[in-house]
């Protein structure tokens, strides 16, 4: 009888095979995609993270900085440095929220919108190549399965997992 795929993808299993570990495959795919588009984005003076920020702001602008960081999967300090570079390039602007003076909002400028349109055109062939051969149903299933994987990792679901504890030094 064949070993179940779940066992071969479980890092705790003695039967573990990295090729059957979904996070290895996800990272491998995302890394390849980012490497390909990075070279093209560089030609228009745009880095991958800045492109990601523009994609988010292209759907809703302005947004609070914390929300942009969350949607881009980066920490706030990384976003802050990135936004400063993007401001110098004229792609975004920042301002204090009128409803909560503690919140910094990030908005896209006309130059940012133009750069986003340019970036979409040059990255589109990579997306089209990546989904080549997928039916509408297969692509929909892939997106649903990725959402399920993501949702399975929500904080409350993993609360029972062992956590690292702080080591205390002897007094």
The domain ranges of the chain are: 13-148
Give one word for 133, left, alpha or beta, with left for phi > 0 and alpha for psi -120 to 50: left
Answer whether CATH 1.10.10.10 is correct for domain 13-148: yes
What's the pLDDT score for residue 3? 80
* Spans of the chain, pLDDT less than 70: 155-171
Answer yes or no: pTM beyond 0.85: no
Q: How far is residue 43's CA from residue 32's CA, in Å, rounded to a whole number?
A: 18
What's the pLDDT score for residue 138? 98
Q: Quickly list DSSP for 74-139.
A: --HHHHHHHHHHHHHTTSEEEEE-SS-TTPEEEEE-HHHHHHHHHHHHHHHHHHHHHTTT--HHHH
What's the pLDDT score for residue 168? 45
What's the pLDDT score for residue 144? 97
What's the pLDDT score for residue 31? 95
Buried b (16+ CB within 10 A) or exposed e, 108-135: bbeebeebbeebeebbeeeeeeeeeeee
């Amino acid at each position: 009888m064949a070993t179940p795929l779940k066992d071969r993808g479980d890092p705790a299993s003695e039967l573990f095979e990295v090729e059957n570990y979904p996070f290895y495959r996800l990272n491998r795919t995302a890394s390849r995609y980012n490497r390909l588009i990075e070279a093209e984005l560089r030609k228009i003076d745009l880095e991958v993270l800045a492109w990601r920020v523009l994609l988010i702001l292209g759907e809703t602008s302005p947004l609070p900085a914390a929300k942009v960081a969350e949607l881009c999967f980066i920490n706030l300090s990384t976003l802050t440095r990135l936004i400063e570079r993007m401001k110098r390039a004229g792609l975004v602007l920042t301002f204090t929220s009128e409803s909560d003076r503690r919140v910094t909002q990030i908005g896209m400028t006309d130059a940012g919108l133009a750069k986003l349109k340019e970036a979409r055109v040059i990255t589109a062939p990579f997306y089209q190549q990546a989904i080549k051969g997928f039916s509408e149903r297969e692509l929909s299933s892939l997106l649903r399965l990725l959402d399920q994987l993501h949702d399975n990792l929500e904080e409350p679901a993993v609360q029972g997992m062992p956590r690292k504890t702080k080591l205390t030094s002897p007094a």
